[in-house]
Amino acid sequence: MYSDKFKKFIEIWQNEFAMERSIDEKSCRDKDGNPLPWYTYPAIEYLSQFDYSQKKIFEYGCGYSSMFWAERAEKVTSIEDNFEWHARWQKEFQHPRLEIRWRDEGEIYENAIFEDDALYDVIVVDGKRRAECAKAAIVKLASGGMIILDDSDRINTSQEYVDAVRALRQADLIQIDFYGFCPMNNYTKTTSLFLRRDFNFESLYKVQPINGIGNLWSMNRKDRKELYRRQK
């Protein structure tokens, strides 16, 4: 037998986070069908606060995150090393601000970021060769920007992640770790942000932080009291 409060907890994960559908359908989307990155929910909610309309994004690793960023940023360049996945994403993710490039694994992959002279405000390391990509990202990171290293908890079992995190920390970036559940998974992981010390992204909102998914304080006092009353 579950308590009413525990049932409400399950309902939030099912309806507000759309976790059940995400896991069953193997799709990184929110309750309204909008694409989400395969990051932890705390990281997604933190990142969703900012205005990226004048920002350039570079991704090592293409996926639902590519559309998430394309709908927010000025320009997104995403690198995919798997030819079949590249063909799928090219067909499925069509957006005027998104460019998807296929680059084979190896040095060609991490060096794809050097194919133009642009600096990037956000660089996502979420594909192959993460240590090498992290080192390349440091060189191409714009002033005030950040690098996202997903699955950073693998540092406990992988030398690749040890090397990636060491390089980012030695570059004097500020590490912020977001632990928690994520779309499609029934277990937790960690997404880490590495911020330049002059990090300066503007919020989309008058206050920060905003209310997260399922947050009770998004309700007015009367509605909160009524919810409490029903759960007793």
The domain segmentation of the chain, as residue ranges, is: 35-210
Rounded distance between C-alpha atoms, residue 186 and residue 60, angstroms: 24
What pLDDT, on the 0 to 100 scale, is given for residue 121?
98
In this predicted model, what pLDDT tens digit does every residue of 151-172 receive, in sequence order? 999 999 999 999 999 999 999 9
Residue 219 has pLDDT above 70, yes or no: no
Distance (Å, whole) CA 65 – CA 44: 10
pLDDT score at 209: 87
- Which runs of consecutive H residues, i.e. helices, occur in 93-206? 107-110, 130-140, 159-170
CB atoms within 10 A of CB 123: 28
Per the CB < 8 A criterion, the answer to whether 84 and 64 are in contact is no
Q: Assign 211 a pLDDT band (cuts: 50, 70, 90).
A: confident
Indicate the pairing of strand 174-181 with strand 188-195.
antiparallel
pLDDT value of position 94: 86
What are the tens digits of pLDDT across the range 97-144? 999 999 987 789 999 999 999 999 999 999 999 999 999 999 999 999
pLDDT for residue 112: 96
pLDDT for 205 equals: 92
User: Maximum distance among all alpha carbons in the chain?
Assistant: 61
Residues 15-61 have pLDDT tens digits of 999 999 999 999 999 999 999 999 999 999 999 999 999 999 999 99
Half-sphere exposure of 213 (CA within 13 A, CB side): 23
For the cut 80, the answer to whether the pLDDT of residue 223 exceeds it is no
**Close Cβ partners of 88 (under 8 Å, ≥ 6 residues apart):** none
Total residues found in the chain within this entry: 232
Q: How far apart are CA 103 and CA 109, in angstroms?
A: 5
**Architecture of the domain spanning 35-210:** 3-Layer(aba) Sandwich (3.40)
